[in-house]
Amino acid sequence: MKSKDCIQEIQRYLSSWFILIDHSNAIAYFNINKISEGTSLHLLNGYKIKDLNRISKNFQP
C-alpha cells in the first residue's frame, strides 16, 4: 500500500472514530470518552504521555 493510501485510510478511521464520539455524546453516552482516552494514550505513546486518571480519578489540573 502506498503511503498516500495509508494516510487516507488512517484519516477515514480517525474521522469515523471522531464522529462516533460526537454522536455518542449527543445521546448522553459519555463512557465513549473514557474508552477513547485509553485509545488515544496508546496511539500517542511515543510522546511518553501519562494517564493522569490513574493518578487521580477524573484528574483536573
pLDDT at residue 47 in the model: 81
Look at residue 17 and tell me if it is in a domain: yes
What is the structure's pLDDT at 2? 86
Query: Would 60 be classed as within a structural domain?
Result: no
pLDDT value for 24:
95
Q: Would 61 be classed as within a structural domain?
A: no
Total domains in the fold of the chain: 1
Q: Contact 20/26 with Cβ under 8 angstroms?
A: no
Question: What is the pTM assigned to this prediction?
Answer: 0.69
- DSSP readout, the chain? --HHHHHHHHHHHHHHHHHHHHHHHHTT-THHHHHHHHHHHHHTGGG----HHHHSTT---
The residue with greater pLDDT, 9 or 35, is 9
Residue 34, in any domain of the structure? yes
User: Which residues span the domain enclosing 17?
Assistant: 3-55
Structure confidence by residue, pLDDT tens digits, 16-60: 999 999 999 999 999 998 889 888 888 888 788 887 777 777 666
